Copies of this chain bind each other. A is one copy, B any other.
Amino acid sequence: MSQADFGRLEIELAEVEMPGLMSCRTEFGPSQPFKGARITGSLHMTIQTAVLIETLTALGAEVRWCSCNIFSTQDHAAAAIARDSAAVFAWKGETLQEYWWCTERALDWGPGGGPDLIVDDGGDATLLIHEGVKAEEIFEKTGKLPDPASTDNAEFQIVLTIIRDGLKTDPKRYHKMKSRLVGVSEETTTGVKRLYQMESSGSLLFPAINVNDSVTKSKFDNLYGCRHSLPDGLMRATDVMIAGKVAVVCGYGDVGKGCAAALKQAGSRVIVTEIDPICALQALMEGIPVLTLEDVVAEADIFVTTTGNKDIIMVDDMKKMKNNAIVCNIGHFDNEIDMLGLENYPGVKRITIKPQTDRWVFPETNSGIIVLAEGRLMNLGCATGHPSFVMSCSFTNQVIAQLELWTEKASGKYEKKVYVLPKHLDEKVAALHLGKLGAKLTKLSKDQADYINVPVEGPYKPAQYRY
């Protein structure tokens, strides 16, 4: 709590950098549209998130929050929010056990059921409810409790344990949540992928808005956010000179594009690995060679995973790397890098330089590699995540998505499906961020608007436009 004052000072600085959120407070605050709404958030508990939370409360919501990553909480942000605005269950350096306990706490609004709305990032809050409901159904039919031993996945064992223990005290806990829930707005590619899978298998329990695929989210936060925070994380963790080095970026999606741009501009020679020929051709057009990890594993100095897939850099790859090669991940989950393989490698030695910066030394070669943030999101583990301005774009989408869900809760507009925000709202989010940067838009004349067949006030592009 001693850090709350520091957190408040940084929140005040961030507010100046987050014009979209502050505009929401001005536009919607007076009418208190979230009056009566309970919002649970599972999203990195940073300074920027603090401004989001206080925007939700400024619009009338009650809020409970947890982080969606064990390392991403900024303790001073959490302290300020906990003191001033909302219940927070998050600290930097949680164990996995603690992490899921926090998630469960943030969903627990007491006897009246769970939250009305969820702000999710990566989908863990959504997952817990879906798994809970599934387990309760099985229990109701068969009396069988979930068995943590039924899975190899250490993290999923914890999830099952929590659900099992919950079942013992209240066998309808997650059903009550489900019935109260109006919907979820999901922040990131990984969580969105899960939602579409649930939608297509028919198992999605409530409406979802895919915030990630707003243009003002995925083409800004993922791209420009990572362009900023990747070098930030590298420099804070290792102080290594990026210029002159060979850097491998695994994946050339929006995140990979941002990372590759940052590394290239800082003077390193970037190599991209890709599975998708279109993204590969984009890299080539920017002067970036596309090779396989195998081709370059022994020569590169820095490795960054950005794929959203698993098993990208395995322990056998790491063994072949140069001494003090840096290995890190900026994708949502920590399974891009084979941390398990590394930890279990016979005779491997872990030397912690400082928190989130470990040197792992292989016994055969006495040569080491440096792993950041234990394979988790390095920009949040080793630095402070994306800067406020770009998060203002993302989070303004979140506020608008939450407003949509809440305002339309009774109208039937949103079914148990995944939705993207309409383009005029996407354009509005962008418009709210132009003034801060001194930009002036050109206005279409009626005649011009007719000529290209759009309304004068937008939206200006067809749905499939790629930007």
Mark A residues whose CB is within 8 Å of B.
6, 9-10, 13-14, 16-17, 47, 193, 196-197, 213, 215-216, 218-220, 223-224, 227-228, 231-232, 235-236, 238-246, 254, 264-270, 273-282, 284-293, 295, 299, 308-311, 323-324, 351, 353-354, 359, 370, 383-384, 387-390, 393, 420, 426-428, 430-431, 433-434, 437-445, 447-448, 451-453, 458, 460-464, 466-467
A442, B273: Cβ atoms under 8 Å? Answer: yes
Indicate if the CB atoms of B287 and A452 lie closer than 8 Å. no
Q: B241, A17: Cβ atoms under 8 Å?
A: yes
A389 (CB) vs chain B CBs: closest residue: B241
Cross-chain contact A243 with B285 (CB below 8 angstroms): yes
Chain B minimum-CB-distance residue to A431: B277
* Nearest-CB residue, chain B, relative to A391: B241
Contacts of A213 in B (CB 8 A): 464
Q: A448-B310, A466-B219, A466-B466 are in contact. Are A353 and B245 (CB under 8 A)?
A: no
Contact across chains for B281 and A434 when beta carbons are under 8 A apart? yes
Chain B residue nearest in CB terms to A466: B466
Flag if A442 contacts B267 (CB, 8 Å).
no
A464 to B13, CA, bound (A): 36
Contact, CB under 8 Å: A388 / B224: no
Q: Given A353-B6, A464-B213, check contact A278 B426 (CB 8 Å).
A: yes
Contact A464 B228, beta carbon cutoff 8 Å: no
- Please state the number of chain copies in the assembly: 4
A76 (CB) vs chain B CBs: closest residue: B354
Are B438 and A299 closer than 8 Å at their CB atoms?
yes
* Complex Cα spacing A359 to B463, Å: 42
> Are A236 and B236 also in contact (CB < 8 A) when A16-B324, A440-B290, A442-B275 are?
yes
In the assembled complex, 13 residue pairs joining A and B whose CB atoms fall closer than 8 Å, in A order, are: A17-B241, A193-B453, A215-B278, A228-B243, A241-B389, A243-B284, A265-B266, A275-B460, A282-B467, A289-B438, A290-B434, A290-B441, A293-B442
Chain B residues with CB under 8 Å of A245's CB are: 437
A451 contacts B310, CB within 8 Å? yes
A455 to chain B, nearest CB (A): 11
In the complex, residue of chain B having the shortest beta-carbon distance to the beta carbon of A232: B235
CA of A10 to CA of B452, assembled, Å: 38
- A219-B466, A274-B442 given; A289·B267 CB < 8 A: no
Task: Give the complex CA separation of A246 and B235 in angstroms.
Answer: 23
Taking a contact as CB atoms under 8 Å apart, the answer to whether B353 and A244 are in contact is: no
Q: Tell me, rounded to whole Å, the shortest Cβ–Cβ distance linking A246 to chain B.
A: 7
Query: Considering only CB atoms, which chain B residue lies closest to A252 in the complex?
Result: B467
Contact A277 B239 (CB under 8 A): no
Q: A227 to chain B: closest CB distance in Å?
A: 7
Min C-beta distance of A450 to chain B, whole Å:
10
- Chain B residues positioned under 8 Å from A445 (CB to CB): 311
When distances are taken between beta carbons in the complex, the residues of chain B under 8 Å from A310 are 447-448, 451
Evaluate contact between B466 and A218: CB separation under 8 angstroms.
Answer: yes
Please indicate the chain B residues that have their CB under 8 angstroms from the CB of A359 in the complex: 9, 13
Per a CB cutoff under 8 Å, which of B193, B231, B299, B427 touches A231? Answer: B231
Contact of A354 among B6, B231, B273, B434 (CB under 8 A): B6
- A145 CB to nearest chain B CB (Å): 28
**Are B437 and A244 closer than 8 Å at their CB atoms?**
yes
What is the distance, in angstroms, from A417's C-beta to the closest C-beta of chain B?
Answer: 14
Asked whether A308 lies within 8 Å of B244 as measured between CB atoms, the reply is: no
Q: Considering the chains assembled together, what is the distance between the CA atoms of A280 and B461 in angstroms? A: 13
Contact check, A460 vs B244: say whether CB atoms are below 8 A apart.
Answer: no
| Of A17, A270, A280, A460, most B-chain CB atoms within 10 Å | A280
- Interface pair A239/B290, CB less than 8 Å apart: no
The answer to whether B228 touches A266 (Cβ under 8 A) is yes
Asked if residues B276 and A427 are in contact (CB atoms below 8 Å), the reply is: yes
